Copies of this chain bind each other. A is one copy, B any other.
Amino acid sequence: MGVVVTDGAGADVSKLRELNSLSIVRAMRGQPPATVTELATRTGLSRPGTDVVVRGLVSDGWVKVVEPDGSSVGRPARRYRFNADAGHVLGVDVGGHKILVLLADLEGQVLHSHRLPVEPDADPAARLEAVDTAISQCLTAAGMRPDQIWAVTVGVTGPVDATGRTTLFTPLPGWASVSPTEHLATRFTCPILVENDCKLAAVAERWQGAAQDADDIVYLLAGMRTGAGLILDGTLRRGYGGAAGEIGALKAVRWISAPSHIENCPGMPGDVHPNDKAAWVFERAREGDRAARTALRRYVKDLAVGAAALVLTLDPQVVILGGGYSRSADLLIDPLEQELRRLCLRVPEIRASDLGADSVALGALRVALDQIDARLFTDGMPAPLTLHA
């Protein structure tokens, strides 16, 4: 039935007040300060009922009073805003070449970010040390202690299983049996989640990126690696064992070889740094260089086979092109669409990501905030101070 309804007049009043508290908090978040009357309208609750709940939220610390500034005539109504500083979350991207840490408030506003380069061949100990350092520097910059963080999400490369490990496959050297959750649990008492980087990037695109209007999304990571993250009906698809979106492992869809067309483009000078090879090819292609254009065309042809497999399987509303190569999306989207027209029954809209290199850490923030919301629904809304532990 989906809805549990207690028996008429015997409805559980304290549970009802809790649900109403959550309704009001949700109606406040991300919005300018509002009066009780406005909040009552937004939530559909009565004005007196809203007033009682708002007072409770103020005394618990979830809501702040915004005193009238006296500029208007007469006695203006008192306004209230969600206390986004009641708690904070961390989003961490553990990449091949960098660690990125974002710190945000409960409305998802990024307050601090810290990026640390890491050697591609760093072993797990070195990589985890870089994670620790980046987190410490981010917290210090924000003037915050670990016990003020309510949730942490860590993005890694490879499918993440139920224990937060990437045992099935990961390109991070030696990382298969690493548990970021266990490692960070020595510093944080809050929930620590681990998730696949492409999945987090997909979440970020729907939250703040190019897919905010869509519920059925295929996110393509197009870069030195090729990957996918899937959102259906607005929900991230993890798969039964955490391995959804790993179509790239199938040789027949040609994602494994796709980036080599670009990375090994004929005519590339020997002194181009691996990180700059793609930029070199895209630049030459813009200038009309024949070898670079051929490399791009071959890359898109290979990318399109796996993309077509995803589109034919899921029939999404949009495909988001993200990852390092998406900085040159203008060179990729049209030929990709042409290939998909050739291969698919129905071609969805293809859009370029505009979140850049932050998308994984941003998605990690969103997952951390969702975790907090889920706890509020399960445990109700005690005073914020008791929640983070």
Determine whether the beta carbon of B315 is less than 8 Å from that of A244: yes
Residue pairs across A and B with Cβ atoms less than 8 A apart, 27 shown, are A1-B26, A3-B19, A4-B44, A5-B16, A5-B20, A6-B44, A7-B20, A7-B45, A7-B46, A8-B16, A233-B233, A233-B235, A238-B315, A240-B316, A242-B315, A243-B345, A246-B345, A247-B313, A249-B312, A249-B343, A249-B345, A250-B305, A250-B344, A252-B254, A252-B309, A313-B313, A313-B314
Q: Is A22 interfacial (CB 8 A cutoff)?
A: yes
Q: How many copies does the complex hold?
A: 2
Chain A residues close to B by CB (< 8 Å):
1, 3-11, 13, 16-17, 19-20, 22-23, 26, 44-46, 49, 159, 168-169, 216, 228, 230, 232-233, 235, 237-254, 305, 308-310, 312-317, 343-346, 348
A159-B345, A233-B235 known; A244 vs B313 contact (CB < 8 Å): yes
A250 CB, min distance to chain B CBs, angstroms = 5
Q: Is the CB of A49 within 8 A of B249?
A: no
Task: Report the nearest B residue to A23, measured CB to CB.
Answer: B1
The reply to whether A49 and B8 contact each other, CB–CB distance below 8 Å, is: yes
Q: Which of B11, B240, B314 contacts A11 (CB 8 A)?
A: B11
Cα(A265)–Cα(B317), bound, Å: 41
A316 partner residues in chain B, CB cutoff 8 A: 239-240
Contact B26 A243 (CB under 8 A): no
| Complex contact B237–A314 (CB within 8 A) | yes
Docked pose: A6 CA to B20 CA in angstroms:
9
Complex Cα gap A305–B216 (Å): 25
| The 10 residue pairs across chains A and B that have the minimum distance between CB atoms | A239-B315, A243-B315, A7-B46, A240-B317, A244-B315, A7-B49, A241-B346, A168-B345, A247-B312, A309-B309
Q: Kindly identify which residue among B241, B247, B252, B313 contacts A245, using a CB–CB cutoff of 8 Å.
A: B313
Q: Is the CB of B250 within 8 A of A309?
A: yes
Q: Is the CB of A309 within 8 A of B315?
A: no
Residues of chain B within 8 A (CB-CB) of A8 are 11, 13, 16-17, 46, 49
Assuming the contacts A26-B1, A232-B237, asked whether A168 and B346 have C-beta atoms less than 8 A apart, the reply is yes
Most buried by B among A6, A8, A44, A348: A8
* Interface pair A313/B315, CB less than 8 Å apart: no
